[in-house]
């Protein structure tokens, strides 16, 4: 197919503390699900639909038909449309059917060489969005997600470095992916760019792809047949695997002057957890964490937010750990989930030189070593307003659902009615370590809820108190 230079434009917005609509002079703004999630996706679909030159999309999860319509519209405009899809999606018949329909219009699909968890879209050198959100209905209506947009006619001038970094990221993923060939389809061309992505002291993308070398595929026949133009080789430093994203995050934690806030779905890098605890103990750094329900476990050694809570009690006897969980389930199940899906760290937000770190990376060994993931680092005065919007979203979750009454009473109303206990509530509430324990003890004592029936708890939505029986269960 005809080669068109890859264009990458990131939309990141700042708003009057929450988020702000883009203006004629503004190039960076933010959105947050579920409050402005629909608006965020509407922007993405609009920019794709109106593409004139090209569209580059990375997909991890895909249920939104609106994306299909937007890609088809871009084809109608004559744009080149390339989509790199997470390898596991290729296993489903439904996905293959959708790809075949869209390839008949002009869309090119490739299966990524490794699991691909990145979530960014680039259009015509005038739009780039990097987000924690997948293309799913829950991402804009239920889950907590963040979006950073770069948009404007001068992106390639004002933000040339970050633009080039994302260009390189997409080209590496695309050129190492295998082609999906529908009927009468031809192998997609290699993306070739002549650029130096460089590094910017103020905004910089770090990706787990940097743990690999992307080498020319020596198997010329395979390259011509499957479109696999490059192969991956793991990088090592003195026989130890490189971990470039984790090390970049650790570096920022160690440089913090005032505060470290985490707004996370998962947090399972022990090096990072221990570093944060050490900064709090040794240097008095303020720490606050708002995490997803899944990260709460009184005994788990793998869930490091809970580990940090237990360690906090040892380091600071008598202090309540500064950690809250978006609590919506006594035993989370993805089918009932109301998750906090953010992947964000905010450092020194109250200073003139804050650091905002956000993207698709879940602060885990999986994100670092077994799949493609990224974080963008925003430093200093240029991104103070953007950082404020993320601080506001942090506190939105910190206080989520707590209301003006007693927290325990409010939590009970979320999880229980006269003759029912909701295993998975539709009214999440942000609770700290001891509040969760108090809620569970109260529910068990007042309603006789059987916390030891793990399978029923996970697969059923409600417990009928008078019948001592679970109901609303998923089919076996």
Tell me the CATH number at 301.
Answer: 3.30.870.10
Contact (CB, 8 A) for 245 and 367: yes
DSSP 141-181: HTSBEEEEEEESTTHHHHTHHHHHHHHHHHHHHHHTSEEP-
What pTM value is reported for the model?
A: 0.93
Q: Which of 213-217, 221-225, 295-299, 342-346 has the lowest average pLDDT?
A: 221-225
Q: In terms of domains, do 147 and 278 share one? A: no
Q: In terms of domains, do 42 and 174 share one? A: yes
For all residues of the chain together, what is the average pLDDT?
A: 92
Q: Does residue 138 form part of some domain?
A: yes
Q: What is the pLDDT of residue 12?
A: 36
Q: In terms of domains, do 191 and 250 share one? A: no
The domain boundary residue, chosen from 164, 199, 234: 199
The number of CA neighbours under 13 Å toward the Cβ of 70 is: 24
Question: pLDDT-based confidence at 22, cuts 50/70/90?
Answer: very low
Q: What is the pLDDT of residue 183?
A: 66
Using the predicted structure, report yes or no on whether residue 202 has a pLDDT greater than 80: yes
Q: What is the pLDDT of residue 23?
A: 40
Q: What is the pLDDT of residue 4?
A: 38
Q: In terms of domains, do 35 and 111 share one? A: yes
Q: In terms of domains, do 308 and 179 share one? A: no
Q: What is the pLDDT of residue 224?
A: 86
Q: What is the pLDDT of residue 454?
A: 87
> Rounded mean pLDDT of 35-40?
97
Joined together, the tokens standing for residue 103 give 């390839």
Question: pLDDT-based confidence at 200, cuts 50/70/90?
Answer: confident
**Collapsing DSSP states into helix, strand and coil, what is residue 298?**
coil
> Rounded mean pLDDT of 80-85?
97
Joined together, the tokens standing for residue 25 give 């002079």
Q: In terms of domains, do 297 and 183 share one? A: no
Question: pLDDT-based confidence at 153, cuts 50/70/90?
Answer: confident
> Rounded mean pLDDT of 9-21?
40
Domain count, the chain: 2
Q: In terms of domains, do 255 and 385 share one? A: yes
Q: What is the pLDDT of residue 19?
A: 53
Range of the domain at 128: 28-199
Using the predicted structure, report yes or no on whether residue 197 has a pLDDT greater than 90: no
Q: In terms of domains, do 37 and 107 share one? A: yes
Question: pLDDT-based confidence at 468, cuts 50/70/90?
Answer: very high
Q: Does residue 205 form part of some domain?
A: no
Question: pLDDT-based confidence at 20, cuts 50/70/90?
Answer: very low
């Amino acid at each position: 197919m005809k080669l068109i230079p890859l264009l990458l434009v990131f939309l990141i917005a700042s708003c009057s503390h929450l988020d702000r609509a883009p203006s004629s002079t503004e190039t960076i703004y933010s959105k947050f699900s579920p409050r402005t999630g629909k608006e965020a996706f509407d922007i993405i679909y609009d920019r794709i639909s109106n593409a004139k030159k090209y569209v580059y999309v990375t997909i991890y999860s895909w249920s939104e038909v609106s994306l299909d319509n937007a890609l088809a519209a871009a084809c109608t405009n004559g744009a080149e449309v390339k989509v790199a899809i997470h390898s596991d999606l290729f296993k489903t018949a439904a996905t293959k059917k959708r790809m075949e329909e869209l390839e008949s219009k002009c869309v090119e699909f490739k299966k990524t060489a490794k699991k691909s968890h990145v979530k960014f879209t680039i259009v015509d050198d005038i739009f780039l969005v990097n987000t924690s959100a997948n293309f799913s209905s829950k991402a804009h209506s239920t889950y907590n997600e963040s979006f950073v947009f770069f948009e404007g006619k001068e992106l390639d001038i004002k933000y040339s470095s970050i633009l080039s970094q994302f260009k390189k990221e997409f080209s590496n993923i695309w050129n190492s992916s295998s082609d999906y060939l529908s009927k009468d389809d031809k192998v997609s061309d290699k993306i070739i760019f002549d650029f130096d992505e460089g590094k910017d002291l103020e905004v910089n993308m770090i990706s787990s792809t940097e743990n690999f070398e992307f080498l020319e595929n020596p198997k010329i026949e395979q390259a011509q047949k499957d479109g696999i133009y490059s192969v991956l080789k793991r990088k090592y430093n003195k026989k130890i695997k490189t971990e470039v994203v984790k090390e970049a995050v650790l570096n920022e934690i160690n440089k913090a002057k005032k505060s470290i806030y985490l707004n996370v779905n998962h947090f399972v890098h022990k090096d990072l957890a221990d570093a944060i605890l050490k900064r709090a103990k040794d240097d008095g750094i303020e720490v606050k964490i708002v995490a997803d329900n899944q990260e709460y476990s009184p005994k788990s050694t793998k869930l490091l937010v809970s580990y940090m809570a237990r360690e906090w009690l040892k380091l600071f006897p008598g202090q309540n750990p500064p950690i809250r969980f978006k609590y919506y389930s006594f035993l989370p199940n993805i089918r009932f989930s109301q998750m906090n899906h953010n992947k964000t760290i905010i450092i020194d937000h109250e200073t003139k030189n804050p650091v905002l770190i956000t993207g698709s990376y879940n602060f885990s060994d999986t994100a670092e070593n077994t799949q493609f993931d990224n974080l963008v680092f925003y430093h200093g005065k240029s991104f103070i307003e953007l950082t404020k919007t993320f601080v506001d979203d942090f506190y939105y979750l910190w206080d989520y659902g707590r209301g003006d009454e007693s927290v325990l009473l409010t939590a009970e109303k979320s999880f229980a009615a006269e003759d029912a206990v909701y295993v998975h509530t539709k009214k999440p509430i942000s609770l700290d370590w001891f509040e969760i324990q108090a809620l569970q003890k109260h529910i068990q004592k007042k309603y006789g809820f059987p916390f030891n029936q793990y399978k029923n708890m996970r697969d059923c939505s409600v417990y009928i108190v008078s019948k001592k029986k679970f109901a609303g269960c998923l089919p076996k």
